[in-house]
């Protein structure tokens, strides 16, 4: 008898409109150079912001609750021309999200890889082109990156959920 066992990893895509108030609120968040990799991108990762937490909890509430999750932490990242975010993962036991706030189709996409990348790569990367309002929800352990940005403005809100 042969038994087959399979692992599945799901990435969910939603659309959440970015209205003027949302854009203004996100753009007011103080950003600084990434402390670990200077020149990578501008971020608010190192300083919790209650205004941003409230915005995410209100704008994404129904979606987050539909997965029976809650927000644990969120931050803003801005990518100028040639800014990037190296391949990384988030909380290995949680769920993460990226919400595209401002930019254009010319901005660098969000790219996901197989678990175990770069040592294991069975499938083609999953590429999500930049579309304002696109919300991507994914297991935090999936490796992902933003390659060097091709425009002078790519603004996102990212975070972790449990």
> Average pLDDT by consecutive 10-residue portion of the chain (162 residues)?
86 98 98 85 95 98 97 97 94 94 97 88 91 98 96 96 96
pLDDT of residue 10: 95
Query: What per-residue confidence (pLDDT) applies to 8?
Result: 83
The whole-number pLDDT of residue 37 equals 81
Cα separation of 55 and 73, whole Å? 12
Among left, alpha and beta (phi > 0; psi -120 to 50; other), residue 46 is: alpha
Question: Using omega within 30 degrees of 0 as the cis cutoff, is the peptide bond preceding 118 cis?
Answer: yes
Q: What is the DSSP string of 40-102?
A: S-EE-TTS--HHHHHHHHHHSHHHHHHTT--EEEEEEEEE-TT--EEEE---TTSEEEEEEEE
What pLDDT is attached to residue 122? 80
Spatial distance between the Cα atoms of 64 and 97, rounded to a whole number of angstroms: 10
For 86, residues 6+ apart whose C-beta sits below 8 A from its C-beta are 37, 40, 145
Q: Is the Cβ–Cβ distance between 142 and 10 less than 8 Å?
A: no
Q: SS3 of 150, please? A: coil
The pTM is what?
0.95
Mode of pairing for the β-strands spanning 42-43 and 144-146? unpaired
């Amino acid at each position: 008898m042969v038994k087959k066992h399979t692992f599945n990893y799901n990435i969910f895509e939603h659309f959440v409109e970015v209205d003027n108030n949302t854009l203004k609120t996100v753009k007011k968040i103080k950003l600084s150079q990434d402390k670990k990799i200077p020149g990578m991108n501008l971020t608010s990762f190192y300083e919790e912001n209650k205004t941003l937490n409230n915005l995410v909890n209100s704008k994404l509430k129904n979606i987050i609750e539909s997965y029976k999750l809650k927000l644990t932490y969120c931050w803003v990242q801005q990518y100028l021309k040639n800014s990037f975010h190296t391949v990384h993962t988030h909380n290995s036991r949680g769920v993460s999200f990226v919400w595209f706030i401002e930019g254009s189709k010319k901005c660098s996409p969000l790219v996901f890889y197989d678990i175990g990348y770069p040592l294991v790569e069975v499938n083609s990367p999953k590429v999500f082109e930049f579309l304002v309002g696109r919300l991507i929800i994914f297991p935090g352990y999936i490796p992902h990156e933003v390659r060097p940005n091709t425009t002078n403005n790519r603004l996102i809100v990212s975070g972790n959920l449990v």
